[in-house]
DNA sequence: TCAACTATGTATAATGT
DNA sequence: TACATTATACATAGTTG
């Protein structure tokens, strides 16, 4: 634009004024912070959805609000699917500046082969435990499996008729169980198919602690992003 | 604004024109799609970072590019931390996906992409826990998962205790494992405290097939978001 | 808290190098 | 493939109801 100056003052008839330039640091006022969080959360979820549709991509988003609340989004329905795709990646491919092209092709070959093999085993739950290369990964895996077991136990309890109901939880679970039967097939496997049809976002509260596997930063391929980050915020 | 019409034509001296109104559907041109993906990926990562800093929140973002590449972002350094916090949450609070009905175009899309989908399918691991129909079956599954966990624990122990070295990886991993134990408690609960200090983003490629723990879909708090979603895209 | 509203700040589609 | 430009479309800070 040759003339970046706004001409709005010509047309303005409002006393409220527009936004100010935002400083990139934690918003100290709790009220404002919460408000901003709410607005931006919606914005980013929208962006994620758009990215998923426009580019035919699977996107997962998890946010822990300042209050401790959780909000998540998954373009393909269940965030677990996407998280697992992340977790399940062989270590070698997780990061690391891409070394040599030969290596790459080799790895791809290997993967393609494995993929073909695993196809036949798909009916069974056979996590590729053997592929685990780090304790960290193992921890994540274990968490997932534990969660899965808990779910199964819930289902089992339902099926057996026992109600291990926990307050409202009970109803929810029943509903889930029902749904689970009806939609099992239709929901299985197909990812975003050009539809922004399935998505979800939800919130709940608590600060409940949790297990967290901390560790050193295996900074792998973050340099590029870091660069962007720095540039943007002049760090 | 009283006068939403742009006055740019007054000042314009360029022949390149600005952007057009974007239609919310998969970009068919592969080149454009890739380009858009790249740009928007950066944009959303930036947004995520801003949200994290401004609102003192932990944010995790995972994206699978159309090419199969992976990009991820975590405001607090390692995405695993955030994933774990997510996974650890009680099921009832997680929420679920939604079944949307917009069959017409969808079917067409489906046909067009069937092959690609089945390939995609392989990427997920499909334990189909949802399909469990009997307590017995559930029991079997559970047993299987338990075994898997035991194997994982064994692996973990091994990794924690020693060798298995993977070049430089070794030291890092061991350190990580150790830390995990020590800091499990101290790390619980407190999120990023005003620092945009740690973050990372990385990419890699592969199509590897693997495992996934699925569960029943508990749709709880998605209505609000769904509303927004629909409103935005006029579904 | 939640829903507008307005003026601006920002992201980005289209294009060229 | 990445970077630069420009006009616009879109997101959102500040404020009111």
Summarize pLDDT for B184-235 with one digit per residue, the tens: 222 222 233 333 333 333 333 322 222 222 222 222 233 344 444 444 444 4
Q: How far is the CA of B19 from the C1' of C15 (A)?
A: 10
Angle at B75 between CA B53 and CA B41, to 5 degrees: 100
Which of B214, B223, B233 best tests the A interface by mutation, with the highest count of A CBs <10 A? B214
State the Cα–Cα distance between residues A222 and B49, nearest whole angstrom.
14
Instruction: Please check the confidence at residue B24 and state whether its pLDDT lies above 50.
Output: yes
Instruction: Please check the confidence at residue A141 and state whether its pLDDT lies above 80.
Output: no
Task: Name chain A contacts of B120, Cβ cutoff 8 Å.
Answer: 189-191
Which range is least confidently modeled, A113-122, B33-42, B63-72? A113-122
Q: Hey, which residues 81-110 in chain A have their CB within 8 Å of chain B?
A: 81-91, 93-96, 98, 104, 107-108
Task: Name chain A contacts of B224, Cβ cutoff 8 Å.
Answer: 201
A179 or A112, greater pLDDT: A112
Instruction: Please check the confidence at residue A22 and state whether its pLDDT lies above 70.
Output: yes
State the Cα–Cα distance between residues A217 and A92, nearest whole angstrom.
16
Query: Average pLDDT of chain A?
Result: 52
pLDDT for B59 equals 87
Which of A63, A114, A230 best tests the B interface by mutation, with the highest count of B CBs <10 A? A63
Instruction: Please check the confidence at residue A124 and state whether its pLDDT lies above 60.
Output: no
- What percentage of chain A has pLDDT greater than the value 90? 3
Which range is least confidently modeled, B79-83, B123-127, B130-134, B165-169? B165-169
Are the C-beta atoms of A47 and A60 separated by less than 8 Å?
Answer: no
Most confident of A90-104, A132-146, A218-232: A132-146
B206 or A151, greater pLDDT: A151
Across the range A196-213, mean pLDDT stands at 31
Instruction: Please check the confidence at residue A189 and state whether its pLDDT lies above 70.
Output: no
Q: How far is the CA of A102 from the C1' of C12 (A)?
A: 36
Given the structure tokens 């209505």, which residue do they identify?
B223
Least CB-CB distance to A27: which of B45, B55, B211?
B55
Q: How far is the CA of A45 from the C1' of C4 (A)?
A: 21
Least CB-CB distance to B148: which of A143, A145, A221?
A145
Which range is least confidently modeled, A172-176, B53-57, B127-131? A172-176
Across the range B24-40, mean pLDDT stands at 90
Across the range A182-193, mean pLDDT stands at 26
- Cβ–Cβ gap A186/B218 under 8 Å: no
Long-range contacts of A143-147 (CB under 8 A, 24+ apart): A143/A211, A143/B84, A143/B87, A143/B88, A144/A80, A144/A83, A144/A84, A144/A87, A144/B87, A144/B213, A145/B145, A145/B148, A145/B149, A145/B152, A145/B213, A146/B149, A147/B87, A147/B91, A147/B213, A147/B215
Q: What share of chain B is helix, strand, coil (3-state, %, to 5)?
A: 50, 5, 45
pLDDT digits (tens, 9 = 90+) for A7-21: 444 444 455 566 788
Most confident of A78-92, A119-133, B104-118, B147-161: B147-161
Instruction: Please check the confidence at residue B83 and state whether its pLDDT lies above 70.
Output: no
Q: How confident is the model at residue A64 (pLDDT cuts 50, 70, 90)?
A: confident
CA R_g for chain A: 23
Which range is least confidently modeled, A137-146, B14-23, B66-75? A137-146
State the Cα–Cα distance between residues A7 and A12, nearest whole angstrom.
9
Least CB-CB distance to B100: which of A87, A195, A203?
A195
Given the structure tokens 């993929």, which residue do they identify?
A115
Query: How far separated are the first and last CA of chain B, in Å rounded?
Result: 27
pLDDT for B204 equals 32
- What percentage of chain B has pLDDT greater than the value 90? 3
Distance from CA of A195 to the nearest CA of B (A): 7
Q: How far is the CA of A42 from the C1' of D14 (A)?
A: 18
Q: How far is the CA of B154 from the C1' of C11 (A)?
A: 49
pLDDT for B14 equals 52
> Dihedral angle at the C-alpha atoms of B155, B159, B161, B166, nearest 10 degrees?
140
- Count of all residues that appear for chain A in the document: 235
State the Cα–Cα distance between residues B147 and B149, nearest whole angstrom.
5
Query: Average pLDDT of chain B?
Result: 51
Q: Show the tokens assigned to A167.
A: 């307050």
| Residue B9 in contact with partner chain A when CB distance is under 8 A | no
With a CB cutoff of 8 Å and minimum separation 6, the contacts of B15 are none
Nucleotide nearest to B67 in CA–C1' terms? D1
- Cβ–Cβ gap B24/A54 under 8 Å: yes
Q: Hey, which residues 153-172 in chain B have their CB within 8 Å of chain A?
A: 153, 155-156, 159-160, 166, 169, 172
Instruction: Please check the confidence at residue B154 and state whether its pLDDT lies above 60.
Output: yes
């Amino acid at each position: 634009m040759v003339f970046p100056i706004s001409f709005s003052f010509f047309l303005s008839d409002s006393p409220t004024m527009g936004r100010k330039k935002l400083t990139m640091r934690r918003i100290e006022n709790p009220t404002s912070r919460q408000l901003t969080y709410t607005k931006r959360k919606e914005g980013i979820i929208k962006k994620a959805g758009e990215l998923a549709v426009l580019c035919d991509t699977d996107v997962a988003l998890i946010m822990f609000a300042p209050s401790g609340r959780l909000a998540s989004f998954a373009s393909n329905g269940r965030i677990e699917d996407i998280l697992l795709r992340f977790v399940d990646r062989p270590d070698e491919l997780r990061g690391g500046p891409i070394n040599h092209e030969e290596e790459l092709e080799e790895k791809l070959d290997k993967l393609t082969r494995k993929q073909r093999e695993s196809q036949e085993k798909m009916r069974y739950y056979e996590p590729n435990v053997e592929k685990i290369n780090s304790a960290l990964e193992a921890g994540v895996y274990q968490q997932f499996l534990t969660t899965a077991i808990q779910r199964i136990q819930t289902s089992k309890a339902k099926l057996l008729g026992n109600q291990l109901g926990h307050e409202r939880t009970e109803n929810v679970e029943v509903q889930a169980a029902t749904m689970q039967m009806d939609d099992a097939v239709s929901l299985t496997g197909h990812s975003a198919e050009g539809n922004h049809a399935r998505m979800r976002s939800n919130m709940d509260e608590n600060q409940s602690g949790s297990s967290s596997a901390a560790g050193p930063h295996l900074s792998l391929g973050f340099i590029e992003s870091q660069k962007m980050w720095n540039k943007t915020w002049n760090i």
